[in-house]
């Protein structure tokens, strides 16, 4: 079963707007990672946040982590059409080195 | 390019046939992962290796699936007696041994069982 669940499942916004995606998970983690996948392609790592971190930035990306609520959010600011993709959160468990992925958020950025 | 390489990119096979996929990880990465992804879903963990040792295997993986990493470098994933339900994208990823490092994914092998 999936460890993480993303919300919303799909998101459609206008270019220039911000996009926020949320991820919830169930068990203790070492870190949480966000990946992007363009249609039919492999996954590209975006950002990693450790369990002792609360917020992290990378370019137009901002990630937050709330371990008490077992949740994370990914904010993409000033979105571009090229940001259109599926976004997945993945948790690295304390008990294992495997990454467990959620079901993803499909983002459409309209030009 | 020294990224993760997967071959073949596409495979069409008849039901009941065996198929084998290959993954070449980034050379200095000790960990190697296999995932399966179906349309509209996130990648589902299958198994992972640290060097040549297979450390974990998903309970969802039937006995028809086997993976090897004989010299701790490339890995193969074999599916015996394929079924239509095996149709999916098979993704390989590799990472360093240290904790809190990201995984690098290949482009995947898309399997279609007809």
Q: Is the pLDDT of residue B3 over 50?
A: yes
How many other C-beta atoms can be found within 10 angstroms of the C-beta atom of residue B106?
23
Kindly state the tokens that stand for B68.
């090897």
Interface of B with A in 58-97 (CB under 8 A): 89, 91, 93
Q: pLDDT per residue over A13-45, tens digit each? A: 999 999 999 999 998 899 999 999 998 788 999
| pLDDT for residue B100 | 77
Residues in a beta bridge with A23: A6, A72
| pLDDT for residue B65 | 95
Partner-chain contact B56 A33, CB within 8 Å: no
Contacts of A87 in chain B (CB under 8 A): none
Higher pLDDT, A26 or B112: B112
Chain B nearest CA to A103, separation (Å): 4
Any B CB within 8 A of A103 CB = yes
Chain A nearest CA to B58, separation (Å): 10
Higher pLDDT, B65 or A1: B65
Average pLDDT for B87-101: 90
pLDDT band at B25 (very low <50, low <70, confident <90, very high): very high
Kindly state the tokens that stand for B86.
């095996």
Angle at CA of residue B43, ends A14 and A57, nearest 5°: 50
Question: B28-59 burial by CB neighbour count: b if 16+ within 10 A, else e?
Answer: ebbbbbbbbbeeebbbbbbbbbbeeeeeeebe
Q: Is the pLDDT of residue A1 over 50?
A: no
Of the candidates B31, B91, B100, which has its C-beta nearest A30's C-beta?
Answer: B100
User: What span, in angstroms and rounded, lies between the C-alpha atoms of B24 and A60?
Assistant: 32
Any A CB within 8 A of B42 CB = yes
Higher pLDDT, A26 or A55: A55
Q: pLDDT per residue over A75-111, tens digit each? A: 999 999 999 999 999 999 887 778 999 999 999 999 9
User: What span, in angstroms and rounded, lies between the C-alpha atoms of B33 and A40?
Assistant: 19
Of the candidates A35, A43, A98, which has its C-beta nearest B45's C-beta?
Answer: A98
Of the candidates A45, A88, A97, which has its C-beta nearest B42's C-beta?
Answer: A88
């Amino acid at each position: 079963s999936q460890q993480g669940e993303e919300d919303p499942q799909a998101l459609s916004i206008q270019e220039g707007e911000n996009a926020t995606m949320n991820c919830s998970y169930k068990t203790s983690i070492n870190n949480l990672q966000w990946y992007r996948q363009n249609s039919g392609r492999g996954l590209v790592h975006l950002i990693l946040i450790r369990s002792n971190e609360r917020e992290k930035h990378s370019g137009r990306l901002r990630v937050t982590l709330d371990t008490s609520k077992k949740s994370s959010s990914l904010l993409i600011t000033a979105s571009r059409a090229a940001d259109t993709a599926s976004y997945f959160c993945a948790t690295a468990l304390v008990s294992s080195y495997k990454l467990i992925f959620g079901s993803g958020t499909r983002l459409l950025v309209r030009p | 390019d020294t990224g993760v390489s997967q071959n073949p990119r596409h495979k069409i096979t008849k039901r009941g046939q065996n198929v084998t996929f290959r993954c070449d990880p980034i050379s200095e990465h000790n960990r190697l992962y296999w995932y399966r992804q179906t349309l509209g879903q996130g990648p589902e963990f299958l198994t992972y290796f640290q060097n040549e040792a297979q450390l974990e295997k998903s309970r969802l993986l039937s006995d028809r699936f086997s993976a090897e990493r004989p010299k701790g470098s490339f890995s193969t994933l074999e599916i015996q007696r394929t079924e239509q339900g095996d149709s999916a994208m098979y993704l390989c990823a590799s990472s360093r041994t240290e904790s809190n490092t990201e995984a690098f994914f290949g482009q995947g092998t898309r399997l279609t069982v007809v």
